Amino acid sequence: MPQIFPKALNPIARVIVLSLPIIAASTGVGLAAFYRSSYATGVGETPPQPVAFSHAHHVGQLGIDCRYCHTSVEISGSANVPPTKTCMNCHQQIWQGADLLEPVRASYKNNTPIEWNRVYNLPHYAYFNHSIHVAKGVGCVSCHGQLDQQNLTTQHSTLLMEWCIKCHREPEKNLRPRSEITSMTYSPATLGADQKPLTWKKSDFANFGKLPDGKENPLIGQPRPTTQKELGLLLKEEYKVRDNVTLTNCSMCHR
């Protein structure tokens, strides 16, 4: 087929196409509102799933830790959805005849993974890393909400750039002791209601509180603040969280 436009036009066409977002953005408030709408961001959306898996039952009622299933959150940039084998650890015995679990048994028998629909999805040009957030004391609940109360998983946050930046400006508002990363009910004041006064635990620190010279972190056993303001600032020091200029630098997330 002959070319409809001469090749020389292509750069101009490119400019027009490339400037479309700018033109669109400058048409103002209406579009800005659309961009932030739940329709565009997916907030509150609950994708259908091949199995009616419930975090409310498994986390809220049975008390299974996130890391039993999402084994890579602490060690890898991306989190994983568990393989069927993990489900069968229990469901070979529990509810083994239930219709609800038929797709799980079929997946196990045929050695084909269950095709879960993604709930959280960033555009590929934004870089995200789970393990660093977890290592620096940002809890799952800060980004994914109260999964212990969700049956089907619902998208909790917008994942918009402004959402990321808001926390990168003031991370101290969201930092918690590492030992509480997966807790859905933690609050700085109530942690260890049975334990008074509240003290630092070995698991709150990297390497179980062992400092590079082999000595124990002197905070262990000491009383720890119970307000987010004090605790957040202390943890920011302790976990060596970088300053907000560095954390909001474009190249942090666009590499």
* Stretch binding ligand HEC (CB under 6 A), from 195-203, 204-212, 221-229, 245-253: 245-253
Which residues 20-39 are close enough to bind ligand HEC by CB under 6 A? none
Question: Tokens at residue 217, please?
Answer: 């972190």
Tokens 């292509």 found at: 10
Q: Cα separation of 111 and 97, whole Å?
A: 19
Tell me the closest approach of the beta carbon of residue 39 to ligand HEC, in angstroms. 14
Tell me the closest approach of the beta carbon of residue 59 to ligand HEC, in angstroms. 5
Contact indicator for 219, 239 with CB cutoff of 8 Å: no
Nearer Cβ to ligand HEC (72/199): 72
Nearer Cβ to ligand HEC (49/199): 49
Region of 187 please: left (phi>0), alpha (psi -120 to 50) or beta.
Answer: beta
Which residues 120-179 are close enough to bind ligand HEC by CB under 6 A? 120-123, 126-130, 132-134, 136, 138, 140, 142-144, 147, 153, 159-161, 164-165, 167-168, 171, 174
Nearer Cβ to ligand HEC (181/198): 181
Binding mask 60-99 for ligand HEC (x = CB under 6 A): -xx-x-x-xxx--x----xx-xx---xx-xxx--xx----
Q: Name which position in 12, 20, 52, 233 contacts ligand HEC (CB under 6 A).
A: 52
Tell me the closest approach of the beta carbon of residue 71 to ligand HEC, in angstroms. 10
Contact indicator for 134, 78 with CB cutoff of 8 Å: no
Tell me the closest approach of the beta carbon of residue 43 to ligand HEC, in angstroms. 12
Closest by alpha carbon to 186, among 82, 66, 88? 66
Tell me the closest approach of the beta carbon of residue 152 to ligand HEC, in angstroms. 6
Nearer Cβ to ligand HEC (185/222): 185
Which residues 174-233 are close enough to bind ligand HEC by CB under 6 A? 174, 181-182, 184
Tell me the closest approach of the beta carbon of residue 2 to ligand HEC, in angstroms. 37
Q: Cα separation of 132 and 73, whole Å?
A: 9
Q: Cα separation of 41 and 36, whole Å?
A: 6
Phi, psi angle pair for 42, to nearest 5°: 85, 5
Contact indicator for 206, 135 with CB cutoff of 8 Å: yes
Tell me the closest approach of the beta carbon of residue 87 to ligand HEC, in angstroms. 3
Question: Tokens at residue 14, please?
Answer: 């490119």
Tokens 């620096």 found at: 136
Tokens 């529990």 found at: 94
Nearer Cβ to ligand HEC (64/234): 64
Question: Tokens at residue 174, please?
Answer: 């969201």
Nearer Cβ to ligand HEC (9/15): 15
Return the ∠ at Cα 21 (arms to 20 and 26), rounded to 5°. 100
